[in-house]
């Protein structure tokens, strides 16, 4: 079970993704645009974020850049109904973990979220080990002194 933020300006897409993900026992929050998504990020943490690329105002790629500042450890899946090589390349450059196209296919969403959760698990374990390693070093330095 993961806590997932879905960002899309289309209400029906938000509802569909929520339905697909909730069937998998995930907790889903939604946002209709950049501002709502940033507000959600300021008040909560998420295991995965799924964002549309094309939205009115600031785009999903703008949101991806903001996520790298607010929650850089959170895997982001970018989604678009107008896939281009340029948008895919930019999403990857901005550290999106996956790139999927609309129309939404349940299996594609489930697979992408599963991969994102694996990456999150690995990153969380890496972070835990780094903290543990720093503590061991501190203890060793105390023993040496």
User: How many whole angstroms separate alpha carbon 4 and alpha carbon 19?
Assistant: 12
What was the pLDDT predicted at 112?
A: 96
User: How many whole angstroms separate alpha carbon 70 and alpha carbon 42?
Assistant: 8
Average pLDDT, the chain: 93
Report residue 74 as tokens: 């959170």
Q: 4-39, pLDDT tens digit by residue?
A: 999 999 999 999 999 999 999 999 999 999 999 999
User: How many whole angstroms separate alpha carbon 143 and alpha carbon 103?
Assistant: 60
What is the spatial order of strands in the sheet that 27-31 belongs to? 27-31, 3-7, 48-52, 76-80, 98-101
Please state the length of the chain: 145
pLDDT > 80? residue 85: no
The CATH number that domain 3-144 falls under is 3.40.50.2300
pTM (predicted TM-score): 0.86
- For residues 121 and 91, the model is more confident at 121
Confidence of residue 88 (pLDDT cuts 50, 70, 90): confident
Contact status, residue 29 vs residue 46, Cβ threshold 8 Å: yes
Query: Regarding beta strands 76-80 and 27-31, do their DSSP bridges make them parallel or antiparallel, or are they unpaired?
Result: unpaired
Domain boundaries, the chain: 3-144
pLDDT > 80? residue 84: no
């Amino acid at each position: 079970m993961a806590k997932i933020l879905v960002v899309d300006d289309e209400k029906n897409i938000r509802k569909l993704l929520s339905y697909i993900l909730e069937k998998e026992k995930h907790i889903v929050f939604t946002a209709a645009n950049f501002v709502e998504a940033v507000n959600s990020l300021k008040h909560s943490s998420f295991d995965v974020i799924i964002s549309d690329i094309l939205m009115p105002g600031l785009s999903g790629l703008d949101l991806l850049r903001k996520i790298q500042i607010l929650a850089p450890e959170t895997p982001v899946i970018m989604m678009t109904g107008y896939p281009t090589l340029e948008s895919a390349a930019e999403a990857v450059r901005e550290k999106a973990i996956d790139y999927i196209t609309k129309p939404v296919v349940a299996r594609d969403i489930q697979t992408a979220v599963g991969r994102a959760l694996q990456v999150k698990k690995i990153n969380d374990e890496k972070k835990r080990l780094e903290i543990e390693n720093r503590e061991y070093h501190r203890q060793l330095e105390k023993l040496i002194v």
